[in-house]
Amino acid sequence: MHFTDSPALVRLRGATRCHPTAAGEFRALDGVDLDVRAGECVAVVGPSGSGKTTLAHLLTGIEQPSGGTVVVDGQPLHALSQDALAEWRGRRVGIVFQFFQLLPTLTIAENVMLPMDLRATWPRRERRPRALALLERLRIADQADKLPAALSGGQQQRAAIARALANDPALIVADEPTGNLDSATALEVMGLLAALARDGKTVIVVTHERELGRFFTRSVTLRDGRVLADTAAPAAPQASVSAEARA
């Protein structure tokens, strides 16, 4: 895919996020301009406190900008109410967390079905078959009826990725998705996320693990809430999710 020819799925212009503190206003993000196009796999890197997680929160509608604009998949998030943001987030973005955030009392299949249940995006009779198909795609269909505690960390993160895909979002945002995994499992999980981008999803990953750089098409470096560098990565070998899973 030629990213310069594809439309910008994500567009930030002057995006600023401020937090009041005892010492005065703290700018977690300070006038960020950023375009991310359909099918890109973008790393957001930088030291602690650089604004990485705040950027992820703006892209997913968890937080709203104090200034500037944030447009994702044609939707101006800066203009939405909290209720509208929650509705949009449930339908149009998939979020993958460092600590999985699977509900411990639900089976893996039920965890994957939950976004479909909350937003009624699929007919009820289609939800479990869709969840099982996603788990099969992530190679853990045999774990569908187990509780999260019975799975390894890597399996739980695969389940979390399946849940993020449940409502077929255009954008996947992962905040330190490999931070709680061993190095071999981290490579496996990152390979799956990168393959999703090659299959047409837009993937943005907040990470501090620079050794994962080969999986990304771009690396955006933040420092003190500003974009310090925006660097294209060398072309990577092409593979689908299913091919990646067979490796």
Average pLDDT over residues 27-47: 95
Calpha distance 67→13 (Å, rounded): 9
CA 99 centroid distance within chain = 13
The pLDDT value recorded for residue 240 is 47
CB 185 within 8 A of CB 151: no
Is the Cβ–Cβ distance between 115 and 121 less than 8 Å?
yes
pLDDT recorded at residue 6 = 65
Q: Does the pLDDT of residue 150 top 60, yes or no?
A: yes
Q: How far apart are CA 64 and CA 54, in angstroms?
A: 10
pLDDT of residue 43: 95
Torsion sign (Cα): 109, 115, 117, 123: negative
pLDDT at 136 over 90: yes
Does 98 have pLDDT greater than 90? Answer: no
Give the per-residue pLDDT at 180: 86
Q: Picking from 43-47, 50-54, 180-184, 226-230, which range would have the lowest pLDDT averaged per residue? A: 180-184
Q: In order of start, what are the domains of the chain with their CATH numbers?
A: 38-64+80-246 (3.40.50.300)
Q: How far is CA 231 from CA 15, 48, 62, 222, in A?
A: 20, 20, 27, 12
**Could you tell me where the beta strands, DSSP code E, fall in the chain?**
8-21, 24-37, 41-45, 67-72, 75-76, 93-96, 171-175, 202-206, 218-223, 226-232
Taking residues 75-93, report their average pLDDT: 92
Residue of 85, 52, 87, 86 lying closest to 207 (CA atoms):
52
Residue 63's identity, in one-letter code, is E
Q: What is the mean pLDDT of the chain?
A: 90
The stretch 156-172 carries a mean pLDDT of 95
Give buried/exposed letters for 174-196 (b at 16+ CB in 10 A, else e): bbbbbebbeeebbbbbbbbbbbb
**Lowest-pLDDT range, 86-95, 123-132, 228-237?**
228-237
Q: Identify the residue with better confidence: 86 or 3.
A: 86
pLDDT on residue 18: 94
Q: How far apart (Å, rounded) are the C-alpha atoms in residues 148 and 155?
A: 9
Give pTM, 2 decimals.
Answer: 0.89
